[in-house]
Amino acid sequence: MDLPDEIVQQFRAMALVRIAEIEASWIHVRTSLAEDASLAIQREIHTLKGESRMVGMLDVNKVCHKLEDLNDVARARGYAVDDEFDLSVTMALRFIAALIRRPDRQNVPRFLEHLGTVLQRHEHTGRGRPSSVPPMLRTTSAARITSLLRGQLGPAAVDAYIEYATSTGPRRDRLRASWHLLRDYVGIQRAILTAAQLAKYKPSVGALARDLGKEVDVTFEIATAEVTSEVLNALEICVLHLVRNAIDHGIERPAVRTAAGKPAAGKIIVRGREREGEYLLEVEDDGGGIDFERVRARAIELQLVQESAPIDQHQLVDLLSHPGFSTRSEASDVSGRGVGLDAVRASAVDLGGAIAAKTARGKGTTWTVRLPVPTLAVHNLALRAPGLRFPVILDPSWTMLAKRPAQPAGAGRVQAAGRVQAQLWIDLAVGLGFNSSNSISATLYWFTNGTLSIGIACGGKPEPVDARRLVATQGTCVGEVVTVDSVEGLLIRPEHIPGVRG
């Protein structure tokens, strides 16, 4: 199995990031007993194990499988493990990182034997049911924390940009570093999603199917779309686990398929497209479908539902995605730990999305993942603000009505639509760099958003432009940072400027 070197290098880079996240979560959960950190460890190890197998790094896959065993023991014991166990987990992570950088098959069997010995010394408790970490200290997932911080830091980043963009001399140089730091942290990181990116492990799918004694044909129907890097990463995780699950759990062996009147080779179709502000991913297989009764029986055994409770399609997804839920009693190097679908749902939910499934016995299953995609482009009028060195874009909710002569630059406020007052640029955004002592030749253009009408003094006729969102903010914020032809500028929402509503 030969994969393009670019894909292998991408795996190496992402794998090292995952290992760092696992190490951080391991330290966190050992001191705080945080459930979200514990689940993050499970998801990241399972994803790393799946990806390593797909790129043919089977030694990494084997060590990850043992690391999953170690984490199962630690989780079942509430992370009350001794120093030897703690050291073994850390050594396993470092060993995996070393294998990713440089294969070392000679030492793998000896290291796996060491991990096996450590496992034998620690008794498994709570085997057979999803376990929680006692006592539970709930935390917010890393993705949600980042989202919350972005919501809080967005306005601060806009203020930092204004201060930087309107300053001069040494002060401008000092402020540039602060602005760039905030921009890099809370700014929108774009990615172009193509079929090749989600189909990068396709050469490995056939090998996985053969290892499981199956035949499968996987088709990718992915429309190119511009998304954020977070959305792209979530989609890659979803495709990895859903395709592996379809091969392992959905597609039947050739003899079973032919006996049921199906082709010997199963079919998996991965579809993806952007639609109405969200990215829609579907993974469809023509396998045996989900056995409701088997899922229900396992859920009753694990005390997740009452014996008399029915299970509908929505509850089915909740159960199958429950951390640690699996209809299998023993875990293999492919599945059986109940982590894959948990990772899929977590990837979607952390971005404000959702997953769903439709299944029919004997006909197959379709998993659907919906992820919101932020609006990345803004098309509206660029205002020529007197005295400003950067472009100013009007929020798309505003449209231009007409123009009339402007009042003198020092006139202060301009009456607009009777009860509504608009401000000249010197008052419109304090500190934007407009010098009120200068004589400005300007024309007052009138704009409306359907409920308000305001007049804004412009140095020339507003022209339509296409802007790219750089630092997004909530709708109640006065503005956000955009780029126009790679030049940073400011998008403004006049309705939230103090004094506009009179």
How far is Cα of residue 457 from the mean position of the Cα atoms in its chain? 41
pLDDT at 280: 96
Angle at 406 between CA 404 and CA 409, to 5 degrees: 170
The 3-state DSSP class for residue 414 equals strand
Tens digits of residue pLDDT in 123-162: 554 444 444 444 333 334 455 555 555 567 888 888 888 8
> In the chain, what are the domain boundaries?
5-121, 191-372, 377-496
Are residues 163 and 61 in contact, defined by beta-carbon separation less than 8 angstroms? Answer: no
Tens digits of residue pLDDT in 368-419: 999 998 888 999 999 876 667 788 899 999 999 875 554 444 333 333 332 2
Are residues 441 and 426 in contact, defined by beta-carbon separation less than 8 angstroms? Answer: no
Q: Which of 419, 415, 436 is nearest to 427 (CA)?
A: 436
- Rounded Cα distance between 381 and 461, Å, is 9
Is it true that the peptide bond before 135 is cis, omega within 30 degrees of 0? yes
pLDDT at 8: 86
Averaged pLDDT for residues 356-370? 92
Burial of 300 (0-12, 13-18, 19+ CB in 10 A): middle
pLDDT at 438: 44
The 3-state DSSP class for residue 116 equals helix
List, in sequence order, every beta strand (DSSP E) within 276-363: 278-285, 354-360
Angle at 131 between CA 128 and CA 134, to 5 degrees: 145
pLDDT at 330: 58
pLDDT at 371: 94
Q: Please give the CATH topology (third level) of the domain spanning 191-372.
A: Heat Shock Protein 90 (3.30.565)
pLDDT at 446: 83
- H/E stretch holding 227: strand 225-228
β-strand partners of 364: 360
Q: Which of 43, 133, 131, 143 is nearest to 349 (CA)?
A: 143
> What pTM value is reported for the model?
0.71
* The most confident of 21-35, 108-122, 269-283, 288-302, by mean pLDDT: 269-283
pLDDT at 154: 84
Q: Which CATH class is domain 5-121?
A: mainly alpha
**Which of the four pLDDT bands, split at 50, 70 and 90, describes residue 93?**
very high
pLDDT at 335: 55
Are residues 122 and 209 in contact, defined by beta-carbon separation less than 8 angstroms? Answer: no
- Rounded Cα distance between 203 and 370, Å, is 26
- Identical fold at 5-121 and 191-372? no
pLDDT at 484: 92
